[in-house]
A = this chain, B = another copy of it.
Amino acid sequence: MSEKNREIQAMETGRPGFESVEKGMVSIHGSIHRLRKMSGFSFLILRTAHELIQCILEPEKCEILGPDGAPWEGALKEEMCIRMEALAVEEPRSRTGWELHPARIRILSVPAESMPVVIHGKEIPASLETILDYRPLTLRNERERAIFRIQDALVRGFTEFLQQEDFVQIHTPKLVSQGAEGGANIFRLDYFGKEAYLAQSPQFYKQMMVGVYERVFEIGPVFRAEKHDTARHLNEYTGVDFEMGYIEGFEELCCMEEAMIRHALQKLPELCPQELKLLNVRIPQADPIPFIRFYEAKELIARRFNRPVREKEDLDPEEEKLLCQLMEEETGSEFVFVTHYPTAKRPFYAMEEEENPQVTKSFDLLFRGLEVTTGGQRIHDYAVQLSKMKARGMDPEQFESYLQIHKHGMPPHGGLGMGLERFTARLLEQDNVRRACLFPRDIHRIAP
């Protein structure tokens, strides 16, 4: 078998574009991604589910049929969906090492208008706003769609790892009667005459489920009504959440996350080699991820960059970048766990350090300059949780169903939530998190 045929057979396996290979003839379907008329022939780029394939179309050698099966009198157009029978021919100058010479094209659908944006170049020559306005079309660009194949591969890797570690996948409600994270950034709606909210995280529910299965995870939408209009915020994002019981410290959560990330990154080259190459992805090392305490990190940044500390109890975006830069220089790691965040900045369910209740047994994971995960150990004792809520001026009666678990026995436990789009964006070194979200939602955008 020639090299060419082996490649085509490899492509055929489990891929819907290819349907038969017979004496060098293939039957294949896809969209006309690009069409360029030359003298006597046309270059046609066929976009299948996985590849862009170069085709040489010689009008006199190819029969063209319309959607009704009758000979097609008109011209071919970009974004037509077609099925073709073609001869596969070796062609070292093409990207795949071969090309197709169509003998028969059946047009399956004819676009009504030509494309409003050019999608067949490497990059789309348009602003992010325009790219997002035409998202159903611009995702057909090969680089755009590569992003979400890589995101899919990440989700596969995370899921596979968590299942191997005995986590049960759960589906918890997004319509809720209390917010878990507090604050103003919550969407409200009318639920048959009652006020309801959109879940800011599966926090309460995953904790409840620790009492049932010990280890659970969920990958699903999370809603934040934040008015931030930045390159790092989305108002709806995909949370990768896990929660586990019988831990002896929050460090176990970090180790679990490190192993989960490592597993997913290791799987990428197997699941989407073409896409990694196309986007020139630098896969980071996550072995091991260094730790630094929050206050140490603050001090270090202030000292090394001679920078006044403005916000005492949080890292600002610039500090996250500087810290990552520092840690990479010192340890070679592009990830860093920042631990022991101030109690004042963490939610009411965060467990405090016994020796110093001003800080919590919590952490953020920073990756290439951006916070991508927040996690920590939770309070499991009823009396402790109750007194902390009261100290914060919260009404425990409002949280009655959540507090059932504390009242009736919970193991020491904790967990974390990762933002899938943020993780993807940093992995692919995209400047804006919107680029790693299929249909982003922000303060100005709710369509498409």
Chain A residues packing against B (C-beta within 8 Å): 14-17, 29, 31, 48-49, 79-81, 83, 108-116, 133-137, 139-140, 145, 148-149, 152, 155-156, 159, 163-166, 168-178, 187-192, 194, 196, 198, 204-205, 208-209, 211-215, 219-221, 223, 225, 227, 235-236, 238, 244-246, 380-383, 401-402, 404-412, 420, 438-439, 441, 443-444, 446-448
Task: Give me 13 A-to-B residue pairs in the complex whose CB atoms sit less than 8 angstroms apart, sorted by A's number.
Answer: A16-B166, A17-B214, A31-B409, A81-B245, A81-B410, A81-B412, A112-B382, A112-B407, A114-B408, A148-B212, A152-B169, A155-B169, A171-B438
- Contact between chains at B145 and A213 (CB < 8 Å): yes
Check A205–B439 contact: CB distance below 8 A. yes
Docked-complex contact A411 and B145, CB < 8 angstroms: no
A189 close to B191 (CB less than 8 A): no
User: What residue in chain B is nearest A170 (Cβ atoms)?
Assistant: B438
A241 to B137, CA, bound (A): 21
- Taking a contact as CB atoms under 8 Å apart, the answer to whether A108 and B171 are in contact is no
Q: What chain B residues lie within 8 Å of A29 (beta carbons)?
A: 246, 411
**6 cross-chain pairs, A with B, having the tightest CB-CB distances, nearest first:** A401-B448, A79-B409, A111-B409, A189-B189, A49-B214, A136-B208
Our pick among B191, B401, B447 for the contact of A177 (Cβ within 8 Å) is: B447
| A236: contacting residue among B174, B204, B236, CB under 8 A | B174
- Pairwise interchain contact B438-A209, C-beta atoms closer than 8 A: yes
Given A211-B140, A212-B145 in contact, is the A438-B172 Cβ separation under 8 Å?
yes
Residues in B neighbouring A208, C-beta threshold 8 A: 135-136, 139, 448
**Cβ B49 vs Cβ A235 within 8 A:** no
The answer on a CB contact under 8 Å between B172 and A215 is no
Contacts of A155 in B (CB 8 A): 169
Known: A171-B238, A189-B189. 16 other contacts (CB 8 A): A16-B215, A16-B246, A81-B245, A81-B410, A109-B380, A115-B408, A139-B208, A148-B212, A156-B163, A170-B438, A171-B438, A172-B438, A173-B439, A174-B174, A175-B441, A177-B446
> Quick check: B441 and A173 within 8 Å, CB to CB?
yes
| A193 to B, closest residue via Cβ | B443
Q: Which residues does chain B contribute within 8 Å of A135, judged by CB atoms?
A: 208, 401
Whether B175 and A235, one on each chain, are in contact in the complex, defined by CB atoms closer than 8 angstroms, is yes
Question: Counting chain B CB atoms within 10 Å of each CB, which of A108, A171, A407 scores highest?
Answer: A171
A137 touches which of B145, B221, B408 (Cβ 8 Å): B408
By the criterion CB–CB under 8 Å, are A111 and B407 in contact? yes
A415 nearest CB across to chain B (Å): 14
Contact: A411 with B171, CB < 8 Å? no
Given A31-B409, A171-B238, A221-B221, A447 and B401 contact (CB-CB distance below 8 Å): yes
Asked whether B168 lies within 8 Å of A149 as measured between CB atoms, the reply is: yes
Across-interface contacts of A191 in B (CB, < 8 A): 187, 446
> Taking the nearest CB of chain B, how far is it from the CB of A54, in angstroms?
19
Q: Tell me the nearest residue of chain B to A173, going by C-beta.
A: B439
Beta-carbon contact of A446 and B209 below 8 Å: no
